[in-house]
Amino acid sequence: MTSLSRAAFGDRPDQAVTAVPADPRERWLAAVVLGGQGWYARAAALLEELMGAADPVLAASSAATLAAHRRQLGGHENARRLDAAGLARLAAGAQLADPGRAGHGALEPAGSAAGAGGQDGGNPGSAIRGPAGRPEVPGPPNGGGPPPRSPEHRGVTPPPHRPTGALGHPPNRERLSFGGGLAWATGTRALGERAPLSTAIGPTVEVSAGRLGEPARPVDIPRYGAWSDVLLGLAADAVGLGRLAEARRLLAVAPVGRGWRPELRAGWLRAETELASGRADAALGPAEIAAEIAAEAGSVRHRVKSALVLGVALATDGHRSRAVSTLSTALHDATDLGLLPLVWPAALVLADLVPTRGDQFCRCAAVALHSVLRRADPVGRRLAERSPWVPRLAGPTG
């Protein structure tokens, strides 16, 4: 495993990226690391170039990574267009590799990439067409690897499916709830309101550190992983835009049976979808499974993010004490490792859970968010400033 692989998907997410690698895959890894640390402008410069790569897998993975960074700044519509562009590159590449699949269940883009994801009326899920309208994903089937974990895997009976619709109006940018904390962390809609947040700057919280320096399982970007990245990205975009039925359809067809990353991200999204549907109890199972996968994988950044998702699910379902413990550890690790995109949402959720220390947590969030916005490119800053999901904590970004 290279040093950049360890930084992106292993035990060194705090590693500084000091040079632009010559190898394209290493440049993608460098962009992943930079985004995890909140250096969005530097990451965007690398990813925008890689999106034009001749290799459709690298191009699609780069589009999905940039889309994730846009979502973290509240730009779900922008992210949707990027994910759709990645889907179109993969679909075109699959048809070129196997033209016999065309018209026989191939996953085809519905119109242009921008048209599939750029309009309110567009539906990236409609781009997934198989025989008789059934969804199908070309490439390695789920049966080629271990099946994805399910709530039954842990002895939990999943709740019955209930139809969901779009959520209501977005909350005031200065008043957000537990659901809002998850919105900032993972791109979902907030479900309520919180008290106005302070813009002061001050110290952060001190709690016990998590485990670092553990071995990590290697990660590559095969075609299978690229399909998963763009489809799960589109599902995350749909959740953030309140298109919950669409998110469920995309989750149902995304290939997640191979490798820990697709399975982990699917767990986050299942939890987010249930939280956005007002079903916090149903979100706990997927969030717990995601935390288990992250712990086994050895990726510190993914472990911290999984703790954040789990903490929000616990808090929303009324498990306050465990939520505070889980989120406090996540906040400490994210702060210690410089993972600023995870610092500010964790601090804001803790401000709700521990009102006696609310000002302290809000100051911590303000410092982190201010740094993130200063490190973003002009597009990212504009998206954040216009988004109802990014609170007004940091003031002007220049």
pLDDT of res. 221 = 55
pLDDT band at residue 97, thresholds of 50, 70 and 90? low
What Å distances lie between residue 281 and 172, 194, 245, 274, 278, CA to CA?
A: 26, 21, 19, 8, 9
pLDDT of 177 over the 80 cut? no
Each residue of 225-256: pLDDT tens digit? 899 999 999 999 999 999 999 999 999 999 88
Residue scoring higher pLDDT (237 or 1): 237
pLDDT band at residue 98, thresholds of 50, 70 and 90? low
> For residue 241, what are the contacts with CB-CB under 8 A and spacing of at least 6?
76, 77, 80
Residue scoring higher pLDDT (377 or 120): 377
| Mean pLDDT, range 51-70, rounded to an integer | 96
Cβ 144 vs Cβ 258: under 8 Å? yes
Number of alpha carbons in the 13 Å side-chain half-sphere of residue 133: 2
- The string of DSSP letters for 181-195 reads HHHHHHSPPP-S--P
Least confident of 105-109, 195-199, 349-353: 195-199
pLDDT of 173 over the 80 cut? no
DSSP tag of 215: -
Q: Residue 291: in which H helix or E strand, if any? A: helix 280-297
pLDDT of 196 over the 80 cut? no
| Mean pLDDT, range 282-302, rounded to an integer | 97
Whole-model pTM: value is 0.73
Least confident of 67-71, 110-114, 130-134, 315-319: 110-114
What Å distances lie between residue 126 and 216, 237, 385, CA to CA?
A: 37, 15, 31
Least confident of 122-136, 291-305, 309-323: 122-136
pLDDT band at residue 342, thresholds of 50, 70 and 90? very high
Q: Which residue has the tokens 């018209």?
A: 103
Q: Write out the two tokens for 384.
A: 């954040």
CA atoms of 319 and 323, how far apart (whole Å): 6
Domains along the sequence of the chain with CATH: 3-98+171-212+222-386 (1.25.40)
Q: Is 335 helix (H, G, I), strand (E, B) or coil?
A: helix
- The string of DSSP letters for 2-37 reads -HHHHHHHSS-TT----S--SSHHHHHHHHHHHHHT
pLDDT of 219 over the 60 cut? no
Name the nearest CA neighbour of 332 among 221, 160, 240, 208.
Answer: 208
Least confident of 25-34, 67-76, 130-139, 161-170: 161-170
What Å distances lie between residue 196 and 1, 173, 199, 249, 390, CA to CA?
A: 45, 9, 10, 36, 13
